[in-house]
Amino acid sequence: MAEYQTNRGAAYSLGYHVVWCPKYRRPVLVGPVAERLRDLIGQKCDEHGWSIVALEVMPDHVHLFVRADPNASPSYIANQFKGFTSRVLRDEFSHLRSRLPTLWSRSYFVSSVGNVSAVTIQKYIETQWERPWRKGGAS
């Protein structure tokens, strides 16, 4: 069963799989850096009211499954995590400043995650003219 959230104007269930990597895919996300990164991602989620479904910090990339409200675009979500964590981690771990010109590469991967398939939505839309309240054509 889908878990839906609501705000003043919408009911929604939006999830995103976001993946991003350190510059040059360097394996710097280990030990205390990885632990602090997990904490910072949780802090940013709390700040925005987003929820973490799954999080894996690998030495050379991050996988995050996050649920967010419709006011936050996927690019906004990715950039919030990347910008905030880069600034804090580079301040706290000097070896990240000396080893990399920036912590994160400019790119990222994002995919929407949902409970309803694209085929189901397409069929629903295509059958709208067959609904009983639509007798007599368009209104």
Residue 108 annotated to the active site: no
* Residue 68 · residue 14 · CB < 8 Å: yes
CA 112 – CA 80 distance, rounded (Å): 17
CA 94 – CA 75 distance, rounded (Å): 28
Which runs of consecutive H residues, i.e. helices, occur in 49-135? 74-92, 94-99, 118-126
Instruction: Write the Ramachandran bin of 55: left for phi over 0, alpha for psi from -120 to 50, otherwise beta.
Output: beta
* Residue 85 · residue 18 · CB < 8 Å: no
Determine which one of 4, 24, 76, 124 is catalytic. Answer: 124
Q: Which residues are catalytic?
A: 124
